Amino acid sequence: MSKTQTTYRKTKSGEWVAYGRYSELMHTEGKEISIHKKDGSTTTRVCRKIGKPFRVDDGAEMVYAYLEGGERIPRWSGPCCDVCGSTRGVHEAFDLSGIGGYACYQCDDGFLSFA
Ligand SMILES: [Zn+2]
């Protein structure tokens, strides 16, 4: 039987995780794990948390390993509202102390001024 490699998987929420055998990943929390990339190279990432193991069709127990710094990468690469995180109608704004930031039109309630 060939060894199942740990590979990247994208979860429904858009987070990149490592996917591999539970028996290999179960004790890797806080440790580095090797992940095989599609191009054949291997990368090392720190495992933040091990998910719940689940069985796949061939009976193997598989698991997702959540990665340090692997939180969801938003498709939107522009500014987000500092208040609510919205990406709609975001503009640069300064608060009363003159600290620059971003606000959406909903959160810019007059205390913030347009840049
Ligand atoms: Zn907002």
For the question of whether the overall pTM of this predicted structure is more than 0.85, the answer is no
Q: How far apart are CA 53 and CA 26, in angstroms?
A: 9
Residue 78: pLDDT over 90: no
Q: How far apart are CA 68 and CA 26, in angstroms?
A: 16
Q: Distance from the CA of 71 to the center of ligand 1, in angstroms?
A: 21
Residue 76: pLDDT band (50, 70, 90) is low
Q: Distance from the CA of 34 to the center of ligand 1, in angstroms?
A: 39
Q: Which tens digits make up the pLDDT trace of 38-75?
A: 899 999 999 999 999 999 998 999 999 999 875 555 55
Tokens linked to 110: 């007059």
Parse the chain into domains and list their residue ranges: 7-67, 74-115
Where helices occur in the chain by DSSP H, the ranges are 22-25
- For the stretch 82-89, contacts whose Cβ atoms lie closer than 8 Å and that sit 24 or more positions apart, written own/partner, are 82/107, 83/107
Q: How far apart are CA 17 and CA 91, in angstroms?
A: 33
Q: How far apart are CA 97 and CA 108, in angstroms?
A: 15
Distances (CA, A) of 40 to 44, 45, 115: 13, 16, 48
Q: Distance from the CA of 80 to the center of ligand 1, in angstroms?
A: 8
Q: Is 31 in contact with 46 (CB distance < 8 Å)?
A: yes
pLDDT in the model for residue 1:
45
Residue 113: pLDDT band (50, 70, 90) is low
Q: Distance from the CA of 106 to the center of ligand 1, in angstroms?
A: 5
pLDDT in the model for residue 75:
59
